[in-house]
Structure 1
Amino acid sequence: MPRPTVAQLTYGSCTVIFSTLAMLLLSQTSSGPGIAVIAVAALALGVLVALTVPVTRSSPVPTAAQQPAAPEPVPVTASVAAASAAPEPVREPTAP
């Protein structure tokens, strides 16, 4: 059985605490059995939340579907090719 992650423990614990407080405040119960029912319901809700937290798994070798596609080569137009083929004049400093 895998160990729970930190995110699962955090979300589950926060859910138990906040749902218990919310249900106790909304129901305004003061009897022992009512508090016990609310505590059990909050615990069940916390476990449900902790189990549904998505777990990230890193695969050691990415499959072909996961690899990004190579970008398509951009065709060179004739004007760009002609401009890059024409040499620019070189300016050299004159002697002092």
Structure 2
Amino acid sequence: MPRPTPAQLAYGSATVVFSTLAMLLLSQTRTGVGIVVIALVALGLGLLVALTAAPAPRGARGARRRAARTASTARSGDEASADSTPPRPVRIPRQSPRQRTHTAGTAVRERSR
């Protein structure tokens, strides 16, 4: 079972506190049994909120791990073909000082001597 996120803990805790206060104020109970029942109901409600609160979306790092895990399980051992490897990034060479553009947007090239 995964650990709860800080957001889930915060939502659950806030639910317990505010629902306890609201139920105590609305019911105006003064008996010990009534207070215990309200506290247990508030704890159950806080637990429900914490478990159903949507976990925070994972960043790009988590998405890459999931994609790599999915790709590795889709392939079966050594039977992976060369087509399954991702393409390499294309390197774009820097322009030499001779090929830099002029301020008007036209290419300026020096003639070699």
TM-score normalised over the length of structure 1: 0.61
Equivalent AA in structure 2 for residue 8 of structure 1: Q
Q: What's the counterpart of residue 49 of structure 1?
A: 49
- Relative to total residues, which structure has the larger helix share, 1 or 2? 2
Deviation at 1:49, TM superposition (A): 0.3
Whole-angstrom distance in 2 between the partners of 1:44 and 1:30: 21
Whole-angstrom distance in 1 between the partners of 2:20 and 2:41: 8
Q: What's the counterpart of residue 24 of structure 1?
A: 24
Whole-angstrom distance in 1 between the partners of 2:63 and 2:50: 23
Q: Within the alignment, does 1:59 sit opposite 2:63 as a pair?
A: yes
Mark the runs of 5 or more structure 1 residues left unpaired by the alignment.
64-96
Whole-angstrom distance in 1 between the partners of 2:28 and 2:14: 21
Whole-angstrom distance in 2 between the partners of 1:14 and 1:32: 23
Deviation at 1:46, TM superposition (A): 0.2
Runs of 4+ in 1 over 2 A off after TM superposition: 56-59
Deviation at 1:2, TM superposition (A): 1.1
Equivalent AA in structure 1 for residue 63 of structure 2: S
Deviation at 1:10, TM superposition (A): 0.1
Equivalent AA in structure 2 for residue 22 of structure 1: A
The count of aligned residue pairs is 63
Deviation at 1:59, TM superposition (A): 2.2
Whole-angstrom distance in 1 between the partners of 2:63 and 2:45: 31
Q: Higher relative contact order by CA 8 Å / sep ≥ 6: 1 or 2?
A: 1
